[in-house]
Amino acid sequence: MSNEQSILSIPISPETHKDVWVYAEVRHDNLIPTVFELLFLGKKLAADLNEKLCAVIIGKNVSQHAQTLIDHGADKVYAIEHDHLEQFVDETYAKLLTDLLLKEKPNKLLLPASTIGRSFGSRVAVQANTGITADATELSINKEKGGLLNATRPSFGGTLMATILCVRGHRPETATVRPMTFPRATPEPGRKGDVVKVPVDLSGFKPRERHIRFEPEVSQEIDISQATIIISGGYGVGGANGFNALHDLAKTLGGAVGASRRAVDSGWISYRHQIGLTGRVVRPKLYIAAGISGQIQHLAGMNSAETIVCINKDPEAPLMKLATLSVQGDLFEILPAINKELQKCGFGAK
Ligand SMILES: Cc1cc2nc3c(=O)[nH]c(=O)nc-3n(C[C@H](O)[C@H](O)[C@H](O)COP(=O)(O)OP(=O)(O)OC[C@H]3O[C@@H](n4cnc5c(N)ncnc54)[C@H](O)[C@@H]3O)c2cc1C
């Protein structure tokens, strides 16, 4: 039966759809960190609904991760496992997940707002004839509306937060969740849960896409999403060379270099360094912002940092008011001075 046929024939009733599901994305044989954030969030939503938390995982040899998912809160793990699923192919993964959704009828489905989750989540939602909120940053259960999912996300360039509800009668209510927005679930080693191995039948299925090869990005730099310390520069650095002072300090501290969109749009540094609404979301222990005013779209990417240090000439800049420590002055004097003192204390020595 094709997906189109199954959509039309499935009886949709919210009463028959139970449990909160999270899609546990595996990349290069490992669960991506956002999975643990989804488990933290999913556990809370499931507890509010008095339902189970289930994880679904797709790939080759992926059931090896089932116990980790259970340790982090999943009550049940569905493993869709096959040698042909080693590489992510949007259409194939979407078909398999949609088939399982239509069979098991979960109430809610959360996916990471990663490149894969965004692409494949929307395809799954269309095939399952349900609604999806992309890139949600707050999620809760709306008890007044019978347990619907309140999925909130920034709209109109981050100036407004919109809460989106899925029309009644369409399940599972689906959302992709912005990475680094929620804490990670704490493990409880040895927790008990069920593992369901889902049979995979791809006979007669002819995807139009195929995986050719994977080419990793080659870079010596620490990636901002992995860094515990980020030195970030904005339009105040004045040009590509202005980032040298930030790279020097990042090297001393073992940190990564981030940037505002204005610096990226000016062509001074590549997009992979951009932090914010249309860049990446980071949650480092220390975020040093130099020459960044702190507009709302930038804050959307870094305001969960544990400690924020802002260096700016202008004491009225919004980030100067939000920072844990605000330093008024010229970044080209302050950054080298900090770097020099740290090096004197032995930081950055090989
Ligand atoms: C839909 C949409 C999405 C967006 N997404 C993003 C996003 O993902 N990320 C993002 O960052 N922005 C984003 N923006 C842009 C955002 O609104 C701001 O324009 C941008 O963040 C400003 O960058 P900035 O702080 O570097 O520049 P500015 O606002 O120009 O600030 C530069 C700061 O540097 C200070 N300064 C200058 N010289 C020095 C010096 N020598 N020493 C110390 N301080 C100095 C100035 O006082 C000033 O505060 C988005 C906007 C829209 C509309």
Both tokens of residue 58? 């797709």
Q: Give 259 Cα–ligand 1 centroid separation in angstroms.
A: 9
Distance CA 219, CA 240 (A): 18
The H-or-E segment that residue 196 falls in is: strand 194-198
Residue 330 near ligand 1, beta carbon < 6 Å: yes
Q: Is 150 helix (H, G, I), strand (E, B) or coil?
A: strand
Residue nearest ligand 1's atom 47 by CA: 314
Distance 262 CA to ligand 1 centre (A): 5
Phi, psi of 68 (to 5 degrees): -60, -40
Q: How far is the CA of 11 from the centre of ligand 1 (A)?
A: 50
Cβ(184) to ligand 1 under 6 A?
no
Tell me yes or no: is domain 3-198 CATH 3.40.50.620: yes
* pLDDT tens sequence for the chain (350 residues): 344 434 433 455 557 899 999 999 999 999 999 999 999 999 999 999 999 999 999 999 999 999 999 999 999 999 999 999 999 999 999 999 999 999 999 999 999 999 999 989 999 999 999 999 999 999 999 999 889 999 999 888 778 899 999 877 889 999 999 998 899 999 999 999 999 999 999 988 999 999 999 888 777 788 898 899 999 999 999 999 999 999 999 999 999 999 999 999 999 999 999 999 889 999 999 999 999 999 999 999 999 899 999 999 999 999 999 999 999 999 999 999 999 999 999 888 76
Tokens of 309: 């240090």
Spatial neighbors of 276 by CB under 8 A, at least 6 apart, are: 260, 261, 297, 298, 299, 300, 301, 302
What atom in ligand 1 is closest to the CA of residue 157?
1
Residue pair 178/115 in contact (Cβ under 8 Å)? The answer is no
Model's pTM, two decimal places? 0.82
Record the tokens describing residue 101, joined without a space: 């959704």
Locate the ligand 1 atom nearest the alpha carbon of residue 311 and give its number.
43
- Residue 81's SS3 state is strand
How many angstroms separate the alpha carbon of residue 246 from the centre of ligand 1?
Answer: 16
- Minimum CA distance residue for ligand 1 atom 39: 236
Give the distance (Å) from ligand 1 centre to CA of residue 271.
Answer: 14
The CB of 332 under 6 Å from ligand 1? The reply is: yes
3-198 and 229-344 agree in CATH topology: yes
Report which ligand 1 atom has the smallest distance to the Cα of 317. 49
Mutational pocket test of ligand 1: of 156, 224, 231, 262, the residue with most ligand atoms within 8 Å of the beta carbon:
262
Question: What is the distance in A from the centroid of ligand 1 to the CA of 269?
Answer: 14
Identify the residue whose C-alpha is closest to ligand 1 atom 53: 157
Distance CA 192, CA 347 (A): 45
> Tell me, what's the pLDDT at 29?
94
Cα–Cα distance between 271 and 262 in angstroms, integer? 11
The closest alpha carbon to 79, from 57, 64, 101, belongs to: 57
CA 295 / ligand 1 centre spacing (Å): 6
Q: Where in the chain are the domains?
A: 3-198, 229-344
CA of 297 to the centre of ligand 1 (A): 9
Q: Which CATH architecture has domain 229-344?
A: 3-Layer(aba) Sandwich (3.40)
